[in-house]
Amino acid sequence: MKNQISESRKAAGWSQEQLASTLGVSRQTVIALERGKYNPSLPLAFRLARTFSTSIEELFDYDEAELGS
């Protein structure tokens, strides 16, 4: 799943470590999220959206084709 996490984090002037601390996850999780290697749980997706004052839909680009639907 494509996302705008890296762009949002950089626009906020935060390091990956700062974002991880804010979200209560590891820096490795933030790296995996930014690279699209890890899809967040729904609660984490909501925390990310609230952190960047945006909606989940604006932060994540869901493509049904990726799921084979």
Q: According to the model, what pLDDT value does residue 19 have?
A: 98
Region 38-60: mean pLDDT is 96
Q: According to the model, what pLDDT value does residue 65 have?
A: 61
Domain 2-63 part of CATH 1.10.260.40:
yes
Q: According to the model, what pLDDT value does residue 62 have?
A: 76
Mean pLDDT of the chain: 92
In this prediction the pTM is 0.86
Name residue 4's amino acid.
Q
**Could you tell me if 8 and 62 are in contact, meaning their C-beta atoms sit under 8 angstroms apart?**
no
- Give the pLDDT confidence of 24-46 residue by residue, as tens digits: 999 999 999 999 999 999 999 99
Residue 3 parent element (H or E): strand 2-3
Domain residue extents for the chain:
2-63
